[in-house]
Structure formats: C-alpha cells, structure tokens
Amino acid sequence: MSTLPNEDIKDRSWGYVAKVVAITLTIVFAANGAAFYYINAWQPNLLYHLVKVKWGLVDKKASTKDWLVLGDSSCNQGVDPDVVYEILQEDALNLCVVGDYLSVGSSWLLDAYIRKNGAPDNILLVYSHRVWDRKEQPLNMIEQGPYRFILNEQLGDTLKYSVLERIKLEAIHYFPLAVHTASIREFLSNPANPVKHKQKYTVHSNGFMEALNGPSKDWLQKEYEILEQAKAYRSGLEVSPANLSGLKQIYRLADENNIEVYIASAPVYEKRYNNADTKAYFAQIDSFIAHTADTYGWQYIKIPGAVFSDSYMEDEVHLTYQGARLYTERLFTAIKEQQNHAH
C-alpha cells in the first residue's frame, strides 16, 4: 500500500525559531571566518593573490620612478625589471596582473600609483592577443583590490557597475565562502594538503613573477589543439569597450602627468603566430595597436623578437624565466634604440 506523505507542521515557539536562526548564522559566519583565514594564510588562488600583491606594491610607496610596466599575465612573468636595469640603468616596477583585469584594471593601478608615489617617467603596456576582446571583469577579482567602491569621479567612466553590483562587490569582499568557492572545494577534497602558493610562486619586490614551470612540451606539441583554437580567431578582432575605456584612461593620466607611454608586442608562441588561420587576427591586432599609438601619441614597440619557439614558452603566451629575460632584453634594446634615435 502506497502511503502518501504529508506535511506535519510541528508546534514550535518563537524561542525555538530564534534559537535555530542564531545557531545557524553563528555556524555559517564561523565557517566564513575559517575560509577568510584559509584564503589569506594559504593563498590558494594565484589570480586573486596576484591582484593583492600588485596592489600591495602600489601601497608600499616604492621609490621606483623610471618605469611602470602594466599588462596581463604574459607581462607579469614576461618583463623582468632586473633586465631593464641591465640595459637602461633605470628602475622598473612590474604591475602586470592577469588578462581579466583588462586595461581598465591597469588604469586603476596607474592612478593609485601616481597618487601615492608620484608619476613615473615611462609606462610600458603589454597585453597578449587573448585579452583585447575580453569584455567583463569578474567581480570576484575586483573585490580583491581596494577599488571595490569606485567613488572617484575621474575613474567613474571605467567602472560601469550598477549600484546593486557595487553593493554586491563590497558585500562579497567580506564573504569568501561565496567568492573563493573553487579554492574551498579543493581544500575540502584534500584537507590534509592545503595549497601554499606563497611558497610556490615567487613575486619579487620589483613585481616580476618567475614562471612556475619550464617549457610545457605536452601542451606545445598538441598541434591539433592549436589548429582547433585557431578557428576561434576567424571572426575577427573586436576590442571590448572596457579595454578601449581603460586605454583612454591611461592616455588621460599619462597626458596629465607627462608620462611617456610605450605599447609593445606581447610574447607569443611561434606556431600560434604563424598559423594560417590566425595570421589575419594578429595583423588586426597590429593595426589596432598602431592606430592607438598614433592616436594617443604613444610609441609602438613592434619587435619580431616577441615570437618564440617552444623552448622558451610555458604555453602560447607565457614565457619561461629564460624566455622572459630574452624578451625583456629584446624589448628594451629596441626601446633604447628608439630613444637614442629620438635624441
């Protein structure tokens, strides 16, 4: 005989309900506190960690004034300030973060740096081919930095979030349970071995992060993957409004503070660059950067030496440590020649 279940509503008092609510909230907030401790002590998420570290460098009031390097992760582990010094005898600070931070994020870092440390003499911008068409900045990444509530009118153009999104941004900053879900799931799947990225990644005091791994032969040799991914580029380059806006802000800040701006070819794996399906895409990127440089009066450092073989690449846009030294040398040698020519 099939007995249909019913809803048997229990007699309960308000005291009982209050007790349930209070204990529930206490446990949830305690778990959140534990997550807070874990995220800050163990740094399981490299992307969030990088955002925090780079903002920390801005806040540190370093004495660097010669060069600020801004860009994405290919730049983060691709431009070594030590090599800059070897070539130009000038100090550089690498404030490159990750691609999703877009040029908008770079403009925030630049703005904050100028306010705290004064304007640098020069800026170098390096963004890989995978960044220009990205549209959105994940709120979870923004909440890692201090610009959660952009009240500054000058930066208002670059942050078009609604009031609700800004409230959410502030709220989730204090609630890692809702933000660092992937990291917490990883931890729960292996609680005996929490990740310690502090030891794993090395971000120097000049902002440069050494590559994690050597050449990834497995990845680079998967040519069919390269061919498959190439198809995605056939639709053509569409630079996102957020990136255009970020570049405009950088121009404004540079113009107001008499900063010389250089924008460079980003490092790329040769098989991606020379692939028949992506050649046109890279040509469009080249045109876009040239046009931007021309419009804003920037220097476009276009170097053939940005194209690397697999012995220098972790993957198609990230250099190994040796590759970074080589790329930085080529880049700043070209800059030096350009500067000499100008004089």
Partner 1 sequence: MLFNSPEFFLFFLVVFSAYLLTRKNLRWQNIVLFVASYFFYGSWNWKMLFLMFGTTALDYFLSRKIVATDKQAAKKWYLRISLVANLSVLGFFKYFNFFIDSFIDFFNVIGFTVEPLALQIILPVGISFYTFHSISYIVDVYRGNIKPADNLMDYALYISFFPQMVAGPIVRATQLLPQMYKKREITADKVNAAFFLIIWGFFKKMVIADNVAVVSNTVFQNYASYEGLDLFLGVLAFTVQIYCDFSGYTDIARGIAKLMGFEIILNFRLPYFAVDPSDFWKRWHISLSSWLRDYLYISLGGNRGGNIGTYRNLFLTMLLGGLWHGAAWNFVIWGAYHGFILILYRQYDDWKARKRQQAPLPLQTQPSGTVHRLFKIGVMFGFTYIGWFFFRADSLSQMLHFVTNAGFSFSAETVGYINTIVMYSLPLVLLQLWQHNTADLMVLTRLRAAPLAIVYALLIIGIFVFGASSQEFIYFQF
Q: Which residues in 71-91 are b (16+ Cβ under 10 Å) and which e?
A: bbbbbbbbbbbebbbebbebb
Contact characters 141-170, partner 1, x per CB under 8 A: -----------------------x---x--
> 52 with 176: CB under 8 angstroms?
no
Residue 165 CA to chain centroid, in angstroms?
Answer: 21
Q: Is 17 in the site for partner 1 (CB under 8 A)?
A: yes
Q: Using the rule CB under 8 A, give the single segment among 84-92, 150-158, 175-183, 314-322 that binds partner 1.
A: 175-183
User: Which of 109, 184, 203, 268 touches partner 1 (CB under 8 A)?
Assistant: 184
Residue 259 has phi, psi (to 5 degrees) of: -100, 135
Q: Which amino acid is at 143?
A: E
Q: Is 280 in the site for partner 1 (CB under 8 A)?
A: no
Q: Rank residues 181 and 274 by Cβ distance to partner 1 and give the closer one.
A: 181
> 338 with 302: CB under 8 angstroms?
no
3-state SS class at 224 = helix
Q: Is 24 in the site for partner 1 (CB under 8 A)?
A: yes
Q: Is 191 in the site for partner 1 (CB under 8 A)?
A: no
Q: Rank residues 22 and 283 by Cβ distance to partner 1 and give the closer one.
A: 22
Q: Using the rule CB under 8 A, give the single segment among 40-48, 172-180, 255-263, 265-273 that binds partner 1.
A: 172-180
Q: Is 1 in the site for partner 1 (CB under 8 A)?
A: yes
Dist CA 125 CA 167 (whole Å): 31
| Residue with the two structure tokens 């040509």 | 283
Q: Rank residues 136 and 153 by Cβ distance to partner 1 and give the closer one.
A: 136
Q: Is 228 in the site for partner 1 (CB under 8 A)?
A: no
| Residue with the two structure tokens 């990750």 | 98
3-state SS class at 280 = helix
Give the binding site for partner 1 (CB under 8 A). Answer: 1-14, 16-17, 19-24, 27-28, 31, 164, 168, 175, 177-178, 181, 184-185, 188
